[in-house]
Amino acid sequence: MSDMVNIEVVYALPKEQILLKKSVPKGATVAEAIQASGVLAKHPEIDLAANKLGIFGKLTKADAVVRDKDRIEIYRPLIADPKEVRRKRAEEGKVMKKGGSDA
């Protein structure tokens, strides 16, 4: 049995998506896997203490142990508050006529 696990590290920017495949030692943490991937050197704006992290869309902690074939995701902070965007959209919807189409 191998002492390594295969993982992917993903980070998405508005105009660029990065997917890095890496093998890390069994027992490695999410933070160790991210550091081993090299993504921090290419994107110094990533702060493991501030950015939220996930594995397959579920939030996780930097000290969680990775498993074989995990996809580690590094999330960026939100640009707009989703509640505020929905509120503005609802206000604009009141101005438009009901139904929304001529069909």
The tens digit of pLDDT for each residue in 18-58 reads 999 999 999 999 999 999 999 999 999 999 888 999 999 99
What mean pLDDT is predicted for residues 78-95?
Answer: 76
Q: What is the CATH number of domain 4-78?
A: 3.10.20.30
Q: In the chain, which ranges are continuous DSSP H helix?
A: 30-37, 39-42, 82-95
In which element (H, E) is residue 11 found? strand 4-13
Q: Round to whole Å and give the CA distance between 62 and 84.
A: 30
Would you state the pLDDT for residue 100?
54
* Euclidean distance between the first and the last CA atom of the chain, given in angstroms as a whole number: 63
Comparing CA positions, the residue from 85, 53, 45, 84 lying closest to residue 71 is: 53
Three-state secondary structure call for residue 35: helix
For the chain, percent of residues with pLDDT exceeding 70: 88
What mean pLDDT is predicted for residues 64-92?
Answer: 86
Torsion-angle region of residue 56: left (phi > 0), alpha (psi -120 to 50) or beta? left
pLDDT band at 81 (very low <50, low <70, confident <90, very high): confident
